[in-house]
């Protein structure tokens, strides 16, 4: 309605509503009149609709431009309209000038005249607009001369409708009306309802009009269509012809038409009825479809549909497996093509279809041994049809499956990991694995070693991160009987360890690309580590020498390497090799970017450093959620191992000025803990570890134990291990031992002698263990003491320097530094580098110092 305001016609809202009222009235008449002509021919009405839609679109923009008084835009659009109208000349000739067109012309002229008269407004206009206004006015005056009669009649109707309106309101929808009007009215109405759907009141009726319009249209175009049939051409070609007739002789009419036509209508026109469908025709069709691939206007969804239909047809007509394989290849390829954006992921239905297709393809390949596929078979040497020779089809199933795998990863990356949807998607993993397995079998018999390597790697990638529960259970023994049937079935399969071993060894032997081997090694190590085969994992890691050159690898491999290192560290921890665990985790943990390094999420603080493009790339690298390594577990393992190493070390080197930190991160946590003004009971994992460290510093292993192993920590961390119990026992043991060491370091100065029995009671360790720990400390010169065998006591030697002596030593060291610095200044002054003392002498100076210190100690010892 509003557009009537803009036209500036003097009639008020009454009038505009009348324009709406015309619709139902008119439809009623046409409906009745053309009832008998209702023979739907859906295709043929399309060019007309297409044309008219174009026109109405332009008209709409013109009206908008009128509303905002944008004359230059108006002019531009008017010229376009003019051209579009010329294009649809044929239709117009048949149908007569559509009412809406006339209406626009009339309105536009009125509007322009009005503007022209408005001198004030014209002055306000800017130059461009004023110029456009004058040209447009001239043009429309000239142009409208051709439509004089129509416009006049329109205006008449407009005036009369103001009178009619009251009548219209009360009239029934099906009531008859003047016959002379309706033949012209239908066009405007139907297009209005289709394009703008403004007519709410008469919605139902106008729907009917759309139908009717088509019907009528079909009626009128009946003849040409018959001609087409007679020619026994494919229908599609006929459409093309028609489009050509319409003056649209640009490029690939085929696609253009499809764009406008709803999908449902495609199917019947695949082949003309009665065409003898043989392989040649189908291949031709296939190439025809494929040529459209990748072009701009191509509807990709429609293309997939077409290919599906084609495969159906070829199947029906038994055209042989070769063609079917070829078509399947192309369907899958176009499924992948569907998303032009690399970051976007497949829709679920597409994904399902893709899986099905690949499955079917594999079925065919398995059933028919005489099909050769390969990417190096040239297009023209393909043999698709002749069934007595082996089929040769171009295409690479391996690439398709690899792509499928990538798509799967992409889907998983893009699903919210905490939703049910993720679980549903993850269920497809089984199918993906199944497909990979089948392809693996296929390629084992047919493919080259390179291909086998590639598919093996895919298989490995889907295996390495999964914990093999059945093998684990089997290794624990005897539970097999109580298991349910399903479990038994499961356990019949090969152990994943054996599979991994077989696949990886094949790759080690046969692979020629470094990348696949590297990945395989890493996965192998990961798998070993996951299943607590520490020594195999470690040896493999050391033998591979990956640590030396991993920084040259591409980021995904580096991420894999990081994951492997972390898994290795966690494995070492489970085995009680605290030092190894710490070393393996140090690099990852110390950077503070564990999340990023493991590909498990992006860090926020890096946001400003990278642009959107980089972020996209990084997002694509992320590991799907189900493969994640628990970061809290990682951190906890790291901190606990750091604690077990650091606390005794700190106690031993309390006064050492040159004490270095074993773990910076651990110290950081300790400092954070110290900074707390009020220390409550620990809440988070870190606080637990810090509290435990404090207890351990005092040699209080019980408190330490209770902080490390309790309900909270169990649920947060320890229960995530497969062998929880073992790990916990190991931990308790370690805590006892290290607490004992810490205790001895810290408090040895207050004892003259201490009974080992007391110690073993204090730390609940067996006497031999205590004995061995203390002996080790004595051997390493960490503890100045000797063991008194008969009384089972440790006798302290008291050789540790007093605090004053320590201080003096520190001072001496500092002074040494000062002297050195001073010398440097002196050197500079003298202009001789290394003068005064040269390097050797300097070393000698320090050596002497060391010697003196040692002498001091020796002296003291000898005095006892």
Partner 1 sequence: MASRKEAPSGKSLDSPVRQIQIEGLVRPHHQALQGSEVVQGVLLGLVVEDRLEITNCFPFPQHTEDDADFDEVQYQMEMMRSLRHVNIDHLHVGWYQSTFYGSFVSRALLDSQFSYQHAIEESVVLIYDPIKTAQGSLCLKAYRLTPKLMEICREKDFSADGLKKASVGYENMFEEVPIVIKNSHLINVLLWELEDKSTAADKHELLNLSSSTHLEKSLQMLMDRVDEMSQDIVKYNNYCRSLSKQQQQKHQYIQRRQQENAQRQSRGEPPLPEEDLSKMFKPPQPPPRMDTLLIASQLSTYCQTIKEFTSQNLGKLFMAEALQGTSSYS
- What helix, strand, coil percent values describe the chain, rounded to 5? 75, 0, 25
For partner 1, which is the closer residue by CB, 237 or 813? 813
Residue with tokens 């047919």: 446
Main-chain dihedrals φ then ψ at residue 374, nearest 5 degrees? 180, 150
Question: Based on CB atoms, which residue is closest to partner 1, 386 or 657?
Answer: 657
Beta carbon of residue 408, minimum distance to partner 1 (angstroms, whole number): 58
Nearer to partner 1, 491 or 849 (CB): 849
User: 843 to each of 515, 833, 835, 850, 857, how far by Cα in Å?
Assistant: 47, 16, 14, 10, 21
**Phi, psi (5° rounding) for residue 383?**
-125, 105
**Residues of the shown chain interacting with partner 1 in the complex, contacts defined by CB under 8 A:** 802-804, 807-808, 810-811, 814-815, 817-818, 821-822, 824-825, 828-829
Residues 6+ apart with CB under 8 A from 389: 383
Rounded least distance, CB 669 to partner 1, Å: 27
Nearest distance, CB of residue 519 and partner 1, angstroms? 49
* Minimum gap (Å) between residue 856 Cβ and partner 1: 17
**Other beta carbons within 10 Å of 151:** 20
Q: Is 41 exposed, middle or buried (0-12, 13-18, 19+ CB in 10 A)?
A: middle
- Compare residues 149 and 803 and give the one whose CB is closer to partner 1: 803
Give SS3 for 392.
Answer: strand
At what angle are helices 555-574 and 578-590 packed, to 10 degrees? 150
User: Cα(90)–Cα(104) distance, rounded to whole angstroms?
Assistant: 20
CB of 785 to partner 1, least distance (A): 25
Between 668 and 814, name the residue whose CB sits nearer to partner 1: 814
Q: Which is nearer to partner 1, 678 or 804 (CB)?
A: 804
Determine phi and psi for 476, rounding to 5 degrees. Answer: -75, -25
Distance in Å, CB of 815 to partner 1, minimum: 6
Q: What 3-state class would DSSP assign to 17?
A: helix
CB neighbour class for 555 (10 Å; exposed up to 12, middle 13-18, buried from 19) = exposed
Least distance to partner 1, CB of residue 402, Å: 57
204 versus 811: smaller Cβ distance to partner 1: 811
Nearer to partner 1, 772 or 805 (CB): 805
1 vs 828 by CB, closer to partner 1: 828
Instruction: Provide the minimum distance between the beta carbon of 834 and partner 1 in the complex, in angstroms, as a whole number.
Output: 15
Whether the CB-CB separation of 636 and 613 falls below 8 Å is answered with no
- Whole-number minimum distance, CB 345 to partner 1, in Å? 56
Residue 552 DSSP symbol: G
Burial of 563 (C-beta count, 10 Å sphere; 0-12/13-18/19+): buried
Closest to partner 1 by CB, 274 vs 831, is 831
End-to-end CA distance of the chain: give it in Å, rounded. Answer: 112
How far apart are CB 467 and partner 1 at their closest, in Å? 54
- Nearest in space to 500 (alpha carbons), one of 534, 530, 545, 543: 530
Distance in angstroms (rounded) separating the CA atoms of residues 575 and 704:
20
């Amino acid at each position: 309605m509003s557009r009537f305001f803009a036209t500036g016609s003097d009639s008020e809202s009454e009038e505009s509503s009348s324009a709406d009222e015309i619709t139902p009235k008119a439809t009623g008449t046409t409906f009745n009149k053309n009832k008998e002509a209702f023979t739907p021919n859906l295709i043929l009405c399309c060019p007309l609709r297409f044309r008219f839609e174009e026109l109405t679109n332009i008209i709409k923009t013109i009206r908008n431009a009128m509303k905002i008084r944008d004359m230059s835009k108006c002019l531009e659009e008017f010229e376009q309209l003019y051209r579009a109208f010329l294009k649809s000349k044929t239709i117009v000739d048949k149908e007569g000038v559509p009412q809406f067109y006339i209406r626009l012309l009339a309105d536009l002229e009125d509007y322009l005249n009005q503007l022209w008269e408005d001198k004030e407004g014209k002055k306000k206009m800017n130059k461009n607009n004023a110029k456009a206004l004058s040209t447009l006015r001239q043009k429309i005056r000239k142009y409208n001369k051709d439509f004089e009669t129509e416009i006049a009649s329109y205006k008449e109707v407009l005036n009369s409708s103001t009178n009619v309106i009251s009548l219209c309101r009360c009239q029934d929808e099906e009531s008859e009306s003047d016959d002379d009007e309706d033949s012209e009215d239908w066009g405007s109405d139907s297009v209005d309802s289709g394009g703008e759907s403004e007519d709410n009141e008469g919605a139902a009726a106008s729907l009917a009009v759309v139908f009717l319009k088509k019907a009528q249209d079909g009626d009128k175009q009946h003849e040409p269509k018959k001609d087409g049939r007679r020619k026994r051409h494919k229908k599609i070609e006929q459409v093309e012809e028609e489009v050509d007739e319409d003056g649209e002789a640009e490029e690939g009419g085929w696609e253009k038409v499809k764009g406008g036509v709803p999908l449902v209508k495609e199917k019947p026109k695949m082949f003309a009825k009665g065409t003898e469908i043989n392989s040649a025709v189908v291949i031709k069709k296939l190439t025809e479809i494929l040529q459209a691939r990748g072009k701009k206007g191509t509807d990709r969804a429609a293309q997939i549909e077409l290919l599906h239909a084609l495969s159906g047809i070829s199947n029906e007509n038994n055209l042989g497996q070769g063609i079917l394989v070829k078509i399947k290849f192309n369907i899958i390829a176009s499924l992948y093509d569907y998303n032009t954006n690399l970051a976007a992921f497949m829709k679920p239905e597409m994904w399902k279809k893709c899986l099905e297709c690949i499955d079917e393809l594999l079925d065919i390949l398995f059933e028919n041994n005489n099909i050769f596929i390969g990417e190096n078979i040239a297009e023209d040497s393909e043999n698709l049809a002749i069934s007595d020779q082996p089929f040769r089809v171009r295409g690479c199933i391996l690439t398709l499956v690899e792509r499928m795998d990538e798509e799967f990863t992409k889907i998983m990356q893009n699903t919210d990991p905490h939703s049910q949807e993720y679980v549903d998607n993850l269920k497809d993993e089984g199918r993906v694995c199944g497909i990979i397995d089948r392809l693996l079998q296929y390629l084992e018999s047919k493919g080259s070693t390179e291909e086998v390597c590639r598919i093996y790697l895919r298989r490995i990638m889907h295996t390495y991160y999964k914990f093999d529960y059945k093998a684990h259970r089997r290794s624990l023994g005897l539970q097999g009987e109580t298991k349910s049937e399903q479990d038994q079935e499961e356990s019949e399969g090969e152990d994943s360890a054996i599979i991994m071993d077989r696949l990886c060894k094949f790759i080690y032997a046969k692979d020629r690309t470094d990348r696949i081997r590297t990945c395989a090694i890493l996965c192998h190590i990961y798998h070993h580590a996951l299943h607590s085969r520490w020594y195999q994992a470690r040896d493999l890691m050391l033998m591979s020498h990956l640590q030396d050159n991993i920084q040259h690898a591409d980021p995904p491999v580096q991420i894999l390497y990081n994951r492997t290192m972390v898994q290795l560290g966690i494995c070492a921890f489970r085995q009680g090799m605290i030092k190894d665990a710490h070393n393996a985790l140090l690099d990852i943990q110390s950077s503070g970017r564990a999340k990023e390094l493991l590909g498990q999420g992006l860090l926020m603080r890096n946001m400003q450093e990278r642009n959107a493009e980089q972020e996209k790339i990084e997002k694509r690298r992320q590991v799907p959620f189900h493969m994640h390594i628990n970061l809290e577990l990682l951190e906890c393992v790291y901190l606990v191992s750091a604690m077990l190493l650091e606390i005794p070390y700190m106690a031993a080197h309390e006064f050492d000025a040159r004490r270095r930190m074993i773990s910076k991160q651990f110290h950081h946590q300790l400092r954070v803990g110290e900074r707390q003004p009020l220390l409550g009971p620990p809440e988070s994992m870190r606080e637990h570890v810090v509290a435990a460290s404090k207890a351990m510093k005092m040699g209080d292993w019980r408190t330490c134990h209770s902080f490390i192993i309790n309900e909270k920590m169990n649920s947060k961390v320890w229960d995530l291990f497969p062998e929880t119990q073992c790990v916990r026992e190991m931990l308790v043991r370690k805590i006892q031992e290290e607490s004992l060491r810490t205790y001895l370091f810290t408090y040895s100065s207050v004892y003259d002698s201490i009974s080992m029995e007391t110690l073993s009671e204090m730390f609940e360790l067996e006497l031999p263990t205590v004995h061995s720990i203390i002996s080790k400390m004595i051997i390493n010169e960490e503890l100045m003491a000797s063991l008194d065998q008969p009384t089972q006591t440790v006798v302290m030697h008291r050789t540790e320097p007093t605090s004053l002596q320590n201080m003096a030593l520190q001072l001496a060291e500092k002074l040494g530094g000062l002297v050195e610095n001073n010398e440097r200044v002196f050197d500079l002054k003298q202009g001789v580098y290394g003068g005064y003392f040269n390097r050797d002498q300097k070393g000698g100076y320090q050596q002497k110092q060391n010697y003196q210190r040692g002498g001091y100690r020796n002296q003291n010892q000898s005095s006892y």
